[in-house]
Amino acid sequence: MTIIVTGAAGFVGSNLVRALNDRGETDIVAVDDFTDADRFKNLVDCEIADYIDREEFLDLLESDQLQQALSSLRIDLGPVRAVLHQGACSDTMETDGRFMMDNNYRFSRVLLDWCQHHEVPFLYASSAAVYGGSVVFSEDRHSEAPLNIYGYSKFLFDQHVRRRAVGARAPIVGFRYFNVYGPREQHKGRMASVAFHHFNQFQADGKVRLFEGHDGWSAGCQQRDFVSVEDVVKVNMYFLDKAMTDSRLFGIFNLGTGRAQTFNEVAAAVINTMAHAQGRPPQTIEALVSSGQIVYVPFPDALKGKYQSHTQADLSRLRSAGYAEPFLSVEQGVSRYVQQRLSEAG
């Protein structure tokens, strides 16, 4: 039985492939776009059965030739058991709306239609960007107010999913990822996590740069729900297992920690973990600012009116669906991430 992972060479996608491997799953079809060739590095330590380019995959879906294509392989993968749809353009600064809607909305609709027609469980990545400037982060229409075309593309697909819920023939589960950080994100460039950039800045310059105060928030005190990719993978695996036994499973769920923490806290976790590796004691945020290890830069004009200064996932629905595991805090998760990066750097 086959599991398809779209965006398989991306950040969350490659972590999901690795997690499936750890569970003994190797009949995995990886779907991605290798225009950025370096993305292959995320799959080097993973076992997959085949790779399909995104455009070829879309053609196979629209012609309903996907299952035949899989069956024609020498390895004969057999029927598709589930689809983990992570493929998307996640650049919140992208201004080409047609490109964004084609990648994030149309592609997702075609894939969902195929899954429903063939009664295949469909688990997909939504985003907390659908909430935009909202101060309420619950999975309800009145809380959703995207600030950019990326958030709108995710919002519109969530709306489509809600309409498809009536008469659904197979499980549909969406995850509104909050600010995810962790291994295998190096290819994302400027769209990589805050923790990733803080590590690079401190390693290069001995200091971390944060935004000055804006829109009523003090310097470095803007808050996000920072969630480790470790926890994102655990939630996906939990619902994948549920989808195998519950054909009526449906829902859109927030996937964060349920706790907002400041950019100052992320910077402190990065700096103190790196200091600990050199045998130096941790310092408070105030001491790090005073010593110039945390510095503040002007808030960019390009982000004004498009920036979420506060996010915090309401986990009520996730908990009601049975997921009871605790989530890593910034201090725990970022520390583990930095330790790993230090180990990789020797």
> Of residues 51, 188, 207, 306, which has the active-site annotation?
188
**Residue type at 231 in one-letter notation:** D
Whole-number Å distance between alpha carbons of 273 and 282: 8
> Of residues 105, 124, 131, 150, which has the active-site annotation?
150
Q: Which of 281-305 are b and which e, b meaning 16 or more Cβ less than 10 Å from the residue's Cβ?
A: eebebeebbeeebbbeeebeeeeee
How far is residue 196 CA from its own chain's centroid? 14
188 is catalytic: yes
304 is catalytic: no
Whole-number Å distance between alpha carbons of 211 and 223: 12
User: Would residue 285 be called left, alpha or beta, if left means φ above 0 and alpha means ψ between -120 and 50 degrees?
Assistant: alpha
Terminal C-alpha separation, the chain: 39
| Catalytically annotated residues | 150, 188
